[in-house]
Amino acid sequence: MRRALVLCLPLILLALAVPWGFAEDRGGRVFGLPTWAAYSIAAAALFAAAMALLLGKCWELSAGDEDDAPDR
């Protein structure tokens, strides 16, 4: 993956994890929770799993090279 994608993907996933579409309460329940709360919990779990995979696979890419460091 390109470095920009690796750095922007967490922001995109985090924006998708916010329950923007639940402005009005429709009265639905999932496991006894309001639908927006169930969505938030599921999205947080998926965000955590995606971040673990992303960091595991792309740690060196996101950390950068020593060549990227400014000269002193």
Residue 37: inside a domain: yes
CA distances from 69 to 2, 31, 37, 72 (A): 18, 50, 43, 9
CA distance 18 to 57: 25
Specify the pLDDT at position 37. 86
Q: Specify the residue for token string 């995606």.
A: 50
**Containing structural domain, residue 34:** 3-7+28-60
* 18 Rama class: left (phi>0) / alpha (psi -120 to 50) / beta: beta
Domain count, the chain: 1
Tens-place pLDDT, residues 5-48: 778 888 888 888 888 877 777 778 888 888 888 888 999 999 99
Residue 69: inside a domain: no
Spell out where the chain has E strands.
29-30, 33-34
Residue 67: inside a domain: no
